[in-house]
A and B are shown apart, each in its own frame.
Chain A
């Protein structure tokens, strides 16, 4: 929505047509003899070696899964084996030119990609660098295990064994795995060789890889990003969001000269014709030829082309040309790499969807055979040389398999001895004020920002010295309290970027970011497309690549559009990587009001339910600033809930108002807003203010003194303050704007019941919104908890309030049963 881009009606109404260029299909047709000038014989032989290492690896797993043994090594494992058997040459071709700093992301079928990229990196890294990698990885633990059983011929030989052993241990769930066996087959990776996470969610890597490319671009890091996904993923919305996100016009039209150009990413689609058993071309997809979709994304058609992946040299050729395009800043690129999976989707695949003839035809085209025959025919070496190589590879694989299968060499994580292994991995809990070493890019000094000037003139407490309320316009509010630490962080951490819908020129839909556009270049603050999955998914990729991101979803209700990215990606990568990856992402979501059923929901329960997310919901400026500061200094993913009802609320409670200097609130602490002795009211979000109103009535009308505690942090949550209060009062009401059924407060109520049972004078009572759609704002009082509802709950369930007449809500047992039975 930038003013610099004129939307011209005269231009838009001109007639004309859209022109397309031909998209190349299998243009590389050189024989090996013809290619011998470009590749040394050693290189050509190494390509073969890499192909058969990959093949041997997949064959080994196939044997283990179907026979329970491989070359005499009896073993098995219960986890998945989505084999890329048959797809090896495409992976080797892809990796051939990639540099160690180039990084790849993959899918659930990525063993070949991992090994090919790693073998390529091993080839290119010096011996010293390789030793350094192995020595430093888990403090050399895996290397020590390997050295105790194997004497390597040289460093590269050691590195190859290290690679195969670490990967197989990961698949076998052993603690010598590259992430201690916590990820397994579908999530294996090894950062030092440029192998980034693979993903069990189809197409899951698309947004994450795009975020990694954004990181490289925004932080001027060298190297490109390859996103390996399958043809089956082209049916997934988030993949399309990623394609568009990676190619947004603004990179060329609005971003500064130092960051101009599309993202350095190649969407490498390994097109094996099947999404599990569904045939893509001809059955489930509409594109006919996959490479066509590039033409739907950008005018340059994403430089798309189709490549015959069974010829490793054809893939190398494509990567040579595409790499140059990315270097010129003209990414992204889309490659449709044809390949074929000779094994089943998994070992329970009965091949119901393809004929024996089809399989035989592809076996005949198996690159292991065809490429080898080509080498022999071109005179690179006699066939016996390749036979010897094959035997060596199999012999090595047998050794590695024996080591990985042997529990005395490769033990499992010992949960009996240490039950808390995974518990420790759930959060990194570190404090890292800055991830960057560069000077943060800003446009003007912080003090000159109009918002900073404006905030300076505001009162940081809601009442003046005489106790008189300060007018809203002059009051430092929750918007300011979120803005302030964020602005500070932009001047501290050069990696910090922030994006979402309408965050720049508009200043965020609710004006939290107003003024931020003055001080930050587009590369640090930009409007994202309306692509919630891509907004969160790229944030995940950005953070696991080494940066810090604050991404915004505008309305909480839009979390549904980013479900996988929030629930499967943002939450899981720290622990699935055994702590190797950090996830410093703050995901801002705003709980609406006035906008009806799809714009007013408090979904804290969904986020708190998912292990691996920190969740907070500040309701006062003091809480907002302290929590945002803590979130921005931390290394964990935080879902930061805000409420549109109270953005303009000043600080009513914290003595002295909101401090100007930076401070953190500890995640887990609670905010005791008002002390009391007869009753505890726990709140989340804007309901705090209803609770305060209820507490006033209780005091004035019924002589009951209520303690009001706001839970600004939901995960983690330290119950000690709550327990202390409930032990004192014996009575507790829990209130929030979330629909009552399944609300997070139910969890709190359960814990209180268990922790304080003998102190309870009544059951903990929950006051939530009705289990209905949110009606229009005109009927707010019938849907959202009101102070009178809190009184009703107390009267019906805790202690009768003399003379109190229940309002519309009802907390009687009869009504409770009726509503549950009706599902409302």
Chain B
């Protein structure tokens, strides 16, 4: 009876081996212990000894074939013996039994049954072919994946730049280089960083964490900043506030005014509401017993509500935040303040209105109305100016502002604001604006997202003055900075022109006397 010689198991983890070279050929006589062939594992080369005496009847695998361990490699027996049942895939073999096919013992049969490995790779080929049909799609995916990955890399480099305070960014963030370093500046001085403890505490107190003044390392908001914010709010009291910034804090403490300082109109209305409440029933015995009082919406409140909601629901508005070096306007302001003649009442806000009017005339895209299927470009600049009144937000218009002098604008704003507050304003003065400016600067707002008054396509928010640092030849220097938040309707204007306008506006304000000189 012929026997098979098995591929030895040459190690615990060895699953299969490669046959190196056969030392015997079919027909040779072999004895137990004779070297039949050598074989390789990933670790070493071994020699396979015959485990049977007789004639090498058939070799099932050739040089270089991979054979699973403990599988028959060849048959040894007496000349003429039938070895068909011993072949891999033969009738007697467990593998072939399952595979069926009758174990035809032809060379085809043995190939087909060289079992799992070969079968597996065939399936793999099929899969590859099938996959070919999807190749374009896969390629596209891969490409987009790659693009994403590199973007992410750039991002992480930029991020390392952040933690490196800009210095690290310069060395490491080759991809991000300029952008990364810029991002570093913003992030490290921005208000985003807050300790988990500060966040948790702000959540517990119901405070807007952005309202806290950071005192931790690298401008991080830490616990004590939330506590001092909380203390300040409680000391200042809630209802009778006059500053919009405080209204936002009040909103965060749960008074229900969720618009907060991020919304110019809302902020103004936030002031208006408690103010009217104060004159209404806040102090009434009824309110004290119930803990609240109801107030019917005034006509103007309803109009504001309707208008703001419409604006947010029906436009595609977004906001860009810019800032400009306020040294020039502040210097000019102190110059005229000290001059003693009538110019002493000209405010920073007036100067900005003047700057906006002069700049805007070159950017008709922002000085427009968005009508159903038309964009109406205006040749003159009619500036709406948001005014905080006891009855709510009102926006009187300075017509032809681009043609008026700084002192004219200053005087007109004062008159219109006074009339709006007293309720004596001519209704015609509350219409027709082509662009609006909302100035929350005196309240200390650092940035916000003003809401457009449709059909206008843009509104500029003016923020408070803050001290910033920048790199100078002599090292780090500080300078006063004023933030400008430009909201625009993307249906009417694209980001690039909107930003260009804001950029030029900033430059004009930084060279304010030059702007004045140019008229």
Seen from chain A, the residues whose Cβ lies within 8 Å of a Cβ on chain B are 65-68, 78-80, 346-348, 350, 352, 730, 757-762, 795-800, 812-814, 817
Q: Give every chain B residue within 8 A of A68 (Cβ-Cβ).
A: 9, 70
Asked if B379 lies at the interface with its beta carbon under 8 angstroms from chain A, I say: no
Q: Which of A67, A78, A758, A800 contacts B200 (CB 8 A)?
A: A758
- Supposing A758-B200, A761-B195, A814-B168 touch, asked if A67 and B217 sit within 8 A by C-beta, the answer is no
**Known A347-B11, A795-B217; further 18 A-B contacts with Cβ < 8 A:** A65-B12, A67-B9, A80-B12, A347-B9, A348-B10, A350-B45, A730-B195, A761-B198, A761-B223, A762-B216, A762-B217, A762-B222, A799-B217, A799-B222, A800-B216, A813-B163, A813-B165, A813-B168
Q: Which of B12, B164, B165, B220 contacts A347 (CB 8 A)?
A: B12
- Supposing A65-B12, A348-B43, A799-B222 touch, asked if A817 and B164 sit within 8 A by C-beta, the answer is yes
Complex Cα distance A648/B199, Å?
46
Q: Are B217 and A814 in contact, with the CB atoms below 8 A?
A: no
Complex Cα distance A79/B43, Å?
18
Question: Which residue of A has the minimal Cβ distance to B8?
Answer: A66
**Nearest-CB distance from B382 to chain A (Å)?**
49
Q: Give every chain B residue within 8 A of A758 (Cβ-Cβ).
A: 196-197, 199-200
Q: Give every chain A residue within 8 A of B12 (Cβ-Cβ).
A: 65, 78-80, 347-348
**Nearest-CB distance from B397 to chain A (Å)?**
48
Instruction: Tell me the chain B residues, 65-109 only, with Cβ under 8 Å from chain A.
Output: 70
Q: Taking each of A730, A761, A762, which has the highest tally of chain B beta carbons within 10 Å of its own beta carbon?
A: A761
Q: Are B163 and A817 in contact, with the CB atoms below 8 A?
A: yes
Question: Which residue of A has the minimal Cβ distance to B49?
Answer: A356
Instruction: Tell me the chain B residues, 466-500 only, with Cβ under 8 Å from chain A.
Output: none
Q: Are A813 and B223 in contact, with the CB atoms below 8 A?
A: no
Q: Give every chain B residue within 8 A of A78 (Cβ-Cβ).
A: 12-13
**Nearest-CB distance from A108 to chain B (Å)?**
15
Instruction: Tell me the chain B residues, 167-200 only, with Cβ under 8 Å from chain A.
Output: 167-168, 195-200
- Supposing A352-B44, A813-B164 touch, asked if A759 and B11 sit within 8 A by C-beta, the answer is no
Q: Give every chain B residue within 8 A of A797 (Cβ-Cβ).
A: 217
In the complex, 28 of the A-B residue pairs with CB atoms within 8 angstroms, ordered by the A residue number, are A65-B9, A65-B12, A66-B9, A67-B6, A78-B12, A347-B9, A347-B10, A348-B43, A757-B196, A759-B197, A760-B196, A760-B197, A761-B195, A761-B196, A761-B198, A761-B216, A761-B223, A762-B217, A795-B217, A799-B216, A799-B222, A800-B216, A800-B217, A814-B164, A814-B165, A814-B167, A814-B168, A817-B160
Question: Which residue of B has the minimal Cβ distance to A730?
Answer: B197
Q: Are A67 and B164 in contact, with the CB atoms below 8 A?
A: no
Q: Give every chain B residue within 8 A of A795 (Cβ-Cβ).
A: 217
- Chain A proximity mask over B218-231: 1 for CB below 8 Å, otherwise 0: 10101110000000
Q: Which of A66, A759, A812 contacts B196 (CB 8 A)?
A: A759
Complex Cα distance A246/B220, Å?
64
Complex Cα distance A730/B9, Å?
60
Question: Which residue of A has the minimal Cβ distance to B46?
Answer: A350
Q: Give every chain B residue within 8 A of A760 (Cβ-Cβ).
A: 195-197
Q: Give every chain B residue within 8 A of A813 (Cβ-Cβ).
A: 163-165, 168, 218
Q: Give every chain A residue within 8 A of B224 (Cβ-Cβ).
A: 799
Asked if B284 lies at the interface with its beta carbon under 8 angstroms from chain A, I say: no
Asked if B215 lies at the interface with its beta carbon under 8 angstroms from chain A, I say: yes
Question: Which residue of A has the minimal Cβ distance to B45?
Answer: A350
Asked if B278 lies at the interface with its beta carbon under 8 angstroms from chain A, I say: no
Complex Cα distance A798/B224, Å?
12
Asked if B14 lies at the interface with its beta carbon under 8 angstroms from chain A, I say: yes
Complex Cα distance A490/B183, Å?
68
Question: Which residue of A has the minimal Cβ distance to B35?
Answer: A356
Q: Give every chain A residue within 8 A of B195 (Cβ-Cβ).
A: 730, 760-762
- Supposing A65-B12, A67-B9, A814-B164 touch, asked if A350 and B44 sit within 8 A by C-beta, the answer is yes
Q: Which of A350, A352, A817 contacts B168 (CB 8 A)?
A: A817
Question: Which residue of B has the minimal Cβ distance to A80?
Answer: B12
Q: Give every chain B residue within 8 A of A799 (Cβ-Cβ).
A: 215-217, 222, 224
- Supposing A730-B195, A758-B196, A760-B196 touch, asked if A796 and B217 sit within 8 A by C-beta, the answer is yes
Question: Which residue of B has the minimal Cβ distance to A759?
Answer: B197
User: Which 10 residue pairs across A and B have the least CB separation, nearest first?
Assistant: A348-B11, A761-B197, A730-B197, A761-B195, A761-B223, A350-B46, A758-B200, A350-B44, A761-B222, A813-B163
**Nearest-CB distance from A230 to chain B (Å)?**
21
Question: Which residue of A has the minimal Cβ distance to B33?
Answer: A356
Question: Which residue of A has the minimal Cβ distance to B167?
Answer: A814
